[in-house]
Structure 1
Amino acid sequence: MLSRRNIRVKVMQALYALNRDEELTIAQALRAYEISTENSFVLYLFNIYTLLQICRFAKVDAQKRHAKYLPSEEDLKFTDKFYTNALIQSLVKHIQLQKKIKDLHFETRMDQDLIRKMYKDFSNEEVYRAYIQKEVNAEEDHVDILHELYRFIRRSEVFNEMVEDLYATWEDDKSLVVGAVKKTLKALPAASDFLEEYQVQSETYQFGIQLLNRTAQDDTKIQEIFEPTLKNWDVERLALIDTILIKMAIAEFLYFKSIPTKVTLNEYVEVSKQYSTAKSKDFINGILDKVMKQLQEDGLIKKEGRGLLD
């Protein structure tokens, strides 16, 4: 689920904290990075859990409707298929998924009153009423209603506030998690090994560990490399985020033999567009281009594979 760009952002955030807090150690920054990467998958699971909990209230709703002393025709026709359909049940009965959810104790973090309200609000949506009133639903109908529910969930201000209070990385990870959940829903019923795709891969995780270590440990050396390219600029006047991104990119130039130099340059320019000032992308692009060419002239960039220096 996590790409190298996502990892670069998490490393940048850990290095930012390391630079802002003099008492913070590299070991603590590494731990912060570890938690951040773990939280991406936890957030994915929490979103799936929320969706399942809302669907579960259809069963409660059906029981209440059928237990009425004078149920209406609508009450009598109401079914709990929103929860009992095969697609949702493939998640409800997924042993590995349910074990992870249990181990994370989501039930202690989730406000059941909020879930009840979200179900009630969604059940008043026309798209839900049409789904319930349809006597026979094709698999496509179940997929569509789950996508509609998840759209409703992720647009809920109360839900977003709750998740942000629980997980500080939600704002950064939201688009990533939303994409993963939508992909999961589209692929239902769930395969036995579907979770593997969404857990951080060891190689990707280790890339971040090495990048953080190299950038932090070789900070002085890296700064000496790019300072001459600043000309009349004082390094102390640079935005901290810009400085960190430049240092990370130089660490990649020097120590990551399989990553093409142009890929590194372009990646940090893209990250700067989201996390720094409007002019930062041009500044960072210019500095890194100069540094890259100088390092190549000095024979300090050693890449493995054809075309990696391009």
Structure 2
Amino acid sequence: MLNRRHIRVKVMQSIYAMHQNDSDNMEKEEKFLFNSIEIIRDLYLIMVSALVEIRNSEEDFIEKSQKKHLATAEERNPNKKFVNNQVLQLLNDSNALSIALEDRKIDNWKRNDDYVLLLLDDIKASDVYQKYMHNKENNWEEDRQFVHDLFTEVVAPNDKLYEYLEDHKLTWIDDIPLVNTFIAKQLKSLSVEGKDAFYVPKLYKDADDKEFVRNLFRKTVLNEVELAKEFIDKTPNWDTERIAEIDSIILKMAICEFLKFPSIPVKVTINEYLEIAKEYSTPKSSIFINGILDNLIKDYQTGNKLVKTGRGLM
């Protein structure tokens, strides 16, 4: 589920937090970094389980309405297309999801069912729902498209849900778009084969990615003074205090990758950190950072200081 750019962002944020807290306890900060990444899995489970709980809440409402003493004809014979949605039932019946929720002790919607009811009200008021419920027939393609659209247009953008997630874990603010995008793609690609079509993703693509977190964090933190010296001479019109804190960290991380990660292509490093700068720093930061990194690369190549292994890594 995690990509390398998001890993870089989490490392950058951890180093920034160290600076703000004036902390030199690398072991403690590294533990916090890995924990902040690990709970991204919880965010994923909370978002997916919201769909399950919304469906179950509506099913419970229908059953109670049918048992009313003076139930209307519509209540006695309701349109069950929503609760019979094949994708929602697939999620509800998923062993993989149930095991993961139990393992991570995710029961947020059991303890906060008011949010489920709030989401259900918004869903029923949406054009996506009204269009879908126009008839009572279920078919896989329509069910899948509906759940995808429901998630992307109603559930994921819900302000109250966002506020709840932000209050629950502050570190999730930057993780929410990543998780929601992954879930949307997963819903879009579900096939009709059945229960095995849904899976709970691994947090890291492979062991190398997890090791990349550790190495990038440690090598940047342990070499901050030396890494800063690499670019200070390239900014004669700027003293250290005038360079934005985030820009300084981004430069150190990029230079660290240039010099201490021989398997990562130079162009990949530059592109990744320029995108991060555009999102997390000042409007002109990416231009400033790009200029420094370009000059550094030229110097490193001239002095044979840049050692990259493999083809096409320059």
Superposed, 1:26-41 pairs within 5 Å as: 26-41=26-41
Counterpart of 2:257 in structure 1 is 252
Task: Tell me the TM-score normalized by structure 1.
Answer: 0.92
State the 1:38 CA deviation. 1.3
Query: Cα deviation per residue 1:224-254 (whole Å; 9 max; x = unaligned)?
Result: 2222111132112210000000000000001
Counterpart in 2 of 1:128? 129
**Where does 1:1-310 land on structure 2 (aligned, <5 Å)?**
1-108=1-108, 110-150=111-151, 151-188=153-190, 189-191=194-196, 194-196=199-201, 199-309=204-314
With over 3 angstroms needed to count, the CA separation of the structure-2 counterparts of 1:26 and 1:102, relative to structure 1, is same
Alignment CA distance shift 1:256-1:124 (3 Å): same
> Which letter maps to 1:305?
G
More helix by percentage: 1
Q: For 2:121 and 2:289, how far apart are their aligned partners in 1?
A: 50
Does the Cα contact within 8 Å between 1:180 and 1:198 map onto a contact in 2?
A: no
**Deviation readout 1:58-116 (Å, 9 max, x if unpaired):** 21121022112232232123154423443222222222211211233332564112212
Deviation at 1:304, TM superposition (A): 0.6
For the residues of structure 2 that align with 1:134 and 1:196, how far apart are their CA atoms?
Answer: 34
Pick closer, same or farther for the CA change 1:72–1:141 going to 2, 3 Å: farther
Tell me which amino acid in the other structure corresponds to 1:154.
A
Quick check: 2:51–2:88 contact (8 Å CA) kept in 1? no
Distance 1:45 1:194 in 2: 11
Alpha carbons of structure 1 residues 282 and 126: separation in structure 2 relative to 1, 3 Å: closer
Single out whichever of 75-84 and 161-170 deviates more from structure 2. 75-84
Q: 1:233 to 1:30 in 2, by over 3 A?
A: same
Shift in CA distance, 37/257, structure 1 to aligned 2, threshold 3 Å: same
- CA gap 1:141/1:103 in 2 versus in 1, 3 angstroms: same
CA distance in structure 1 between the partners assigned to 2:18 and 2:148 by the alignment: 40
For residues 140-196 of structure 1, give each alpha carbon's deviation from its aligned partner in whole angstroms, at most 9, with x where no partner exists: 221133123312112211111001111223321122111111122123355367223
Give identity over the alignment, percent: 34
Letter in 2 for 1:226: F
